[in-house]
């Protein structure tokens, strides 16, 4: 999606991915190799003007190695903070941004100490490499401790208090090399099984005060990190205030609606930011809903016959639980969005999921 | 632009072009070869599901050869009609669509006979392969005849009465394999030196009656040709009625604004049409102006800092008179469009044109 947004700006691309079948290879040069292999990184960097990433688990070492040779945006330090839940929450705390209570856990004793502060329910998470709900366990009572420890113990963990939030929101912010900043309207996110299923943008019934609070919070994060590019911060709305849950130093799934639903997409604005070009307007155009396609490929005709539906198929093999595309529904009026969303959800409900063993 | 619109639909592309540097080669497989070479056409068609074109001068023979082997849309007959100004105007006439008075010219005597019917001013044009104002000559008086004949004589020509039109408009229409049709709002076009410079969409101050007339006219053309895909018809507004000037059986420069300015772009709708998928909404989103970049590459930052400006650079070498990109300015309100357009026109006026000998 970055390349699709970048060609009209006159850009050319080279992608580095661990797998040769990465979808970007359909529309640009693709180098396949390991991120930890300096020979690969050297070949990748050769002749490039600058480097960016849209995958959160790029090793910080690789990003830093590249940053010594070419401009790399967002700065590797953002990756470093975002890859470790403890560093991330400590970072938020240091900026005075509210987060759920958290407690670092290395031993079973740490876990018990932590639970005295958080109480039940609480969530035990791996500090690193968690995504889409993987590497975490909800603890309802002490009965859950043994299973959770068996599953997650033996690596650095973090215990977090369960936050009785009203809803999950996210703010997409962007900061350019020149320091110019812009913010998209807050997005309301709906997860199931730890995976983002649906985003509504702009987030319905959101007071201007909340938007202002989110922008202020994102601005502090970006300035502290001397950030360049699009940054997503996942937030909890708790009794009318915002708590930071986590951040993603990249274009983000909860910003995919911007392709049709905003004047300038997050992908174009990310490119403008890393190139030091003026940022484009982040204003919403009408009302959008984004539905992820997870392990299923719906019938294209059924999707496209819904007014305002825009399909984004990623060209990936369909596997259970894998994000293989998304659909953005955009309408001028909010009631039309509701009607279309019901139709679209019905189409997806009737689409069989990939069987666990296909492909 | 077709490929950029098609990847999100899950499509893959192979392009055939006479030149190896064709921009499409940056983002899809490109086969370089002559359209008249059956070996090339055979390699091109190999494994394709269907074939379309976005270049009006594809030889009809090549399109027909391919159509015997694969579905080809728009139908080659549309190409055949559009490539010959005499056939085209006769075709419009046969459908009862008003056109300028015209007269076929093979000899100098034909020219004199024709001028008796059209009077001065009149336009002498080659019947085939004219585009962007090439291959035509405006005749003000009999003094112009000798030069015009020297320049154009010796090939089939057409003489057309000069139409004192109020303005030039175009209608972008689309018809799918299933027969579904849709129409974009009328566009107002401004040419200079025979080349499209600016399109305003929707065309300002256009009564619904005119839109209806244009749709009815385009519908007759598409049904007569059993047309599939996007069709553009260039029109003259003459005393509140529409006259057909010419048609283009393809996505069209005067429809480029639809990428940002309509719910579904002409490129996506062309693909939906040829695939037999439901057509997307053709409704305008706000107000758009499209400016062609002709033989000049403006400073990207100056363009992008204008609110609502979207750059489309084609990745071509800059040569005098060559269309190398376009900029669409999209705003919610018409007065904001006027302000932005002034800024944008100032940026383009300050951009040096390619020198005749560069590149």
What residues of chain A lie within 8 A of the CB of B304, using their CB?
Answer: 272, 277-278, 280
CB atoms within 10 A of CB B352: 9
Contact (CB, 8 A) for B124 and B85: no
B6, B26, B306: best mutation site toward chain A, by most A Cβ within 10 Å?
B26
Q: A154 in contact with B at a CB cutoff of 8 Å?
A: no
Selection from A254, A252, A95, A251 nearest residue A169 by Cα: A254
Phi, psi angles (nearest 5°) of residue B313: -100, 130
Strands B309-313 and B187-192: unpaired
Nearest residue, CB atoms, B301 vs list A10, A27, A277: A277
- Sequence ranges of the domains in chain B: 2-82, 101-161, 167-350
CA dihedral angle for residue A240, residue A241, residue A246, residue A250, rounded to 10 degrees: 90
Q: At A325, which helix (H) or strand (E)?
A: strand A323-331
Q: B333 in contact with A at a CB cutoff of 8 Å?
A: no
Phi, psi angles (nearest 5°) of residue A75: -60, 140
Output DSSP code: residue A143: G
Question: Is B136 marked as a binding-site residue?
Answer: yes
Q: At B330, which helix (H) or strand (E)?
A: strand B323-331
Strands A157-161 and A122-126: antiparallel
Burial class of A304 by CB neighbour count within 10 A (0 to 12, 13 to 18, 19+): buried
CA angle in degrees (0–180, nearest 5) for A218-A224-A268: 55
Question: Is A163 marked as a binding-site residue?
Answer: yes
Phi, psi angles (nearest 5°) of residue A185: -60, 150
Q: Which residues of chain B are under the pLDDT cut of 50? A: 358-359
CB atoms within 10 A of CB B177: 17
Q: A204 in contact with B at a CB cutoff of 8 Å?
A: no
Q: Which residues of chain A are under the pLDDT cut of 50? A: 358-359
Q: At B167, which helix (H) or strand (E)?
A: strand B167-175
Dump pLDDT digits (tens) for A246-283: 999 999 999 999 999 999 999 999 999 999 999 999 99
CB atoms within 10 A of CB B298: 20
Q: Per DSSP, what are the bridge partners of residue B178? A: none
Q: Per DSSP, what are the bridge partners of residue A104? A: A158
CA angle in degrees (0–180, nearest 5) for A74-A268-B308: 135
How far does the CA of residue A275 sit from the closest CA of chain B (Å)? Answer: 10
- Record: contact B10-A277, CB cut-off 8 A: no
Phi, psi angles (nearest 5°) of residue A134: -80, 150
**List of long-range contacts for B34-40, beta carbons under 8 Å, 24+ apart:** B35/B59, B35/B62, B36/B61, B36/B62, B38/B65, B40/B16
Q: Which CATH superfamily is domain B167-350 in?
A: ATP-grasp fold, B domain (3.30.470.20)
Provide the pLDDT for residue A359.
42
- Mind giving me the DSSP string for A169-226? EEEEEEE-TTS-EEEPPPEEEEEETTEEEEEEESPTT--HHHHHHHHHHHHHHHHHHT
What CATH topology corresponds to B101-161? Dna Ligase; domain 1 (3.30.1490)
Give, in order, the Cα–Cα distances in Å from B259 to each of A75, A314, B105, B310.
32, 20, 40, 10
Provide the pLDDT for residue A130.
66
CA angle in degrees (0–180, nearest 5) for B275-A290-B278: 20
Residue with structure tokens 């940053």?
A67
- How far apart are alpha carbons A322 and A308 in whole angstroms? 25
Nearest residue, CB atoms, A8 vs list B276, B307, B312: B312
Selection from A160, A161, A121 nearest residue A144 by Cα: A121
Tokens of B34: 């002559």
CB contacts < 8 A (A, B): 80
Q: According to CATH, what is the number of the domain B2-82?
A: 3.40.50.20
Contact (CB, 8 A) for B160 and B118: yes
Strands B287-294 and B195-201: antiparallel
Q: A311 in contact with B at a CB cutoff of 8 Å?
A: yes
What residues of chain B lie within 8 A of the CB of A272, using their CB?
Answer: 304
- Record: contact A301-B286, CB cut-off 8 A: no
What residues of chain B lie within 8 A of the CB of A264, using their CB?
Answer: 310
Q: A219 in contact with B at a CB cutoff of 8 Å?
A: no
B14, B256, B271, B280: best mutation site toward chain A, by most A Cβ within 10 Å?
B280
Q: Per DSSP, what are the bridge partners of residue B262? A: B284
Tokens of A107: 């031993």
Output DSSP code: residue B324: E
Question: Is B251 marked as a binding-site residue?
Answer: no
Q: Tell me what percent of the residues of chain A surpass a pLDDT of 70.
A: 98
Contact (CB, 8 A) for A7 and B315: yes
- How far apart are alpha carbons B263 and B226 in whole angstroms? 25
Output DSSP code: residue A47: T
- How far apart are alpha carbons A76 and A68 in whole angstroms? 11
Question: Is A134 marked as a binding-site residue?
Answer: yes
Burial class of A32 by CB neighbour count within 10 A (0 to 12, 13 to 18, 19+): middle
Nearest residue, CB atoms, B7 vs list A4, A304, A308: A4
What part of A 20-49 touches B (C-beta under 8 Å)?
Answer: 26-28
Q: B317 in contact with A at a CB cutoff of 8 Å?
A: no
- How far apart are alpha carbons B125 and B118 in whole angstroms? 14
Nearest residue, CB atoms, B278 vs list A8, A304, A312: A304
Provide the pLDDT for residue B359.
42
What residues of chain A lie within 8 A of the CB of B278, using their CB?
Answer: 301, 304-305
How far does the CA of residue B262 sit from the closest CA of chain A (Å)? Answer: 10
Contact (CB, 8 A) for B153 and B96: no
Q: Per DSSP, what are the bridge partners of residue B175? A: B181, B229
Q: A142 in contact with B at a CB cutoff of 8 Å?
A: no
Dump pLDDT digits (tens) for B142-195: 999 999 999 999 899 999 999 999 999 999 999 999 999 999 999 999 999 889
What residues of chain B lie within 8 A of the CB of A304, using their CB?
Answer: 272, 277-278, 280
Contact (CB, 8 A) for B5 and B271: yes
Measured distance between the N- and C-terminal CA atoms of chain A, rounded to whole angstroms = 24
Burial class of A20 by CB neighbour count within 10 A (0 to 12, 13 to 18, 19+): exposed
Nearest residue, CB atoms, B278 vs list A4, A264, A305: A305
Selection from A314, A249, A184 nearest residue A52 by Cα: A249
């Amino acid at each position: 999606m970055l390349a699709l947004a970048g060609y009209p700006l006159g850009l050319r691309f080279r992608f580095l991915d661990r797998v040769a079948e990465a979808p970007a290879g359909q529309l640009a040069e693709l180098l396949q190799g390991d991120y930890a292999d300096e020979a690969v990184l050297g070949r990748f960097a050769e002749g490039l003007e600058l480097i960016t990433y849209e995958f959160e688990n790029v090793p910080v070492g690789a990003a830093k190695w590249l940053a010594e040779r070419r401009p790399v945006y967002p700065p590797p330090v953002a990756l470093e903070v975002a890859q470790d839940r403890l560093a991330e929450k400590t970072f938020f705390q240091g900026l005075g941004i509210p987060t759920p209570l958290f407690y670092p856990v290395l031993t079973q004793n740490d876990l018990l100490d932590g639970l005295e502060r958080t109480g039940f329910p609480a969530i035990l998470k791996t500090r690193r490499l968690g995504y889409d709900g993987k590497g975490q366990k909800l603890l309802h009572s002490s009965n859950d401790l043994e299973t959770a420890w068996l599953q997650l113990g033996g690596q650095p963990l973090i215990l977090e208090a369960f936050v009785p939030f009203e809803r999950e929101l996210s703010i997409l912010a962007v900061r350019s090399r020149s320091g110019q900043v812009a913010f998209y309207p807050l997005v309301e996110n709906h997860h199931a099984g730890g995976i983002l299923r649906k985003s509504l943008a702009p987030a319905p019934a959101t007071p201007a005060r909340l938007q202002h609070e989110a922008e202020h919070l994102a601005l502090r994060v970006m300035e502290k990190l001397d950030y360049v590019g699009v940054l997503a911060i996942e937030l909890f709305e708790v009794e009318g205030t915002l708590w930071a849950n986590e951040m993603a130093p990249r274009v983000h799934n909860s910003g995919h609606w911007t392709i049709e639903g905003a004047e300038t997409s997050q992908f174009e604005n990310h490119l403008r930011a890393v190139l030091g070009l003026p940022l484009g307007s982040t204003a919403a155009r009408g009302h959008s809903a984004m539905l992820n396609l997870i392990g299923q490929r719906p019938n294209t005709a059924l999707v496209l016959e819904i007014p305002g539906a825009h399909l984004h198929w990623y060209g990936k093999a369909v596997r259970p639980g894998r994000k293989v595309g998304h659909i953005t529904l955009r309408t001028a009026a909010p009631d039309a969005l509701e009607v279309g969303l019901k139709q679209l959800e019905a189409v997806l409900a009737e689409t069989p999921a990939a069987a666990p063993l296909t492909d």
